[in-house]
Copies of this chain bind each other. A is one copy, B any other.
Amino acid sequence: MKLTRLSDIRRKELRKAAFAVLQREGIAGATLEKVATEAGASKGIVLHYFHNKQELFEHAMREANAELRDAVVIRLRHARTPRERLDAVIEGNFEPSFFRPLICHAWLSLCAEVPRDDKLARIQTVIHARMSSNLVSALKDMVAKDEAADIALGITALIDGLWLRLGLQKSGISSEQAVLQVRNFVAGRLALAASGRPKAQRQLTSTGAS
């Protein structure tokens, strides 16, 4: 009854190596040979533990997300009030040790393949569902249910967008800036929800985007 079988260790090493190569080379330049070298092994061993290239990178995406998820879960454990749960999700998603351009680059490369890889798409769906669920669970005590869902969608989009900025802009933003930006978004939307309108404004100032 070994807690860590050798195969599990190797597989984890290879997943991490795959993600590391993705950071440097992008999806177009990430080859099995490079992953093997990164892990200090031969190409054959990679295909011994993973059925093919696609499967390897699917596991790399799972691995990377698991770390982010844990950052949120740990903070969520210490959260008591809805507000604290909200902050746990927000801060967890910008955990300074993860909120790094290189990690964003690798993540972007994986996201870019989502349309052509059903497994990757499924992982994305799960990630988003979990995030949405966490957020709505905290928000449902503060605003109406559908308003909560709408704000949650905004938060997830804003988080993704701030990550994107980190990866694409040379002088990327800091973890603190990002957290502050999301907190202000929430504060603004909550203020709006509290200030009268049962639902946030509809096309009052519309000039017709169809």
Q: Does A111 contact B (CB under 8 A)?
A: yes
Are B91 and A209 in touch, CB under 8 angstroms? yes
Minimum C-beta distance from A84 to chain B (A) = 7
Q: Does A44 contact B (CB under 8 A)?
A: no
Q: A146-184 interface mask toward B, CB cutoff 8 Å, 1 = contact, 0 = none?
A: 000010011011111110110111100101100111011
Q: Does A35 contact B (CB under 8 A)?
A: no
Q: Does A83 contact B (CB under 8 A)?
A: yes
Minimum C-beta distance from A102 to chain B (A) = 8
Q: A94-115 interface mask toward B, CB cutoff 8 Å, 1 = contact, 0 = none?
A: 1110000100010011011111
The A contact surface, by secondary structure, is helix
Q: In the complex, A157→B105 CA distance in Å?
A: 16
Instruction: Report if A83-B205 is in contact (Cβ < 8 Å); known contacts: A26-B112, A115-B167, A121-B170.
Output: yes
Minimum C-beta distance from A151 to chain B (A) = 9
Q: Given A109-B112, A154-B181, list of 7 further CB < 8 A pairs? A: A26-B27, A87-B206, A95-B209, A153-B181, A183-B205, A184-B200, A188-B190
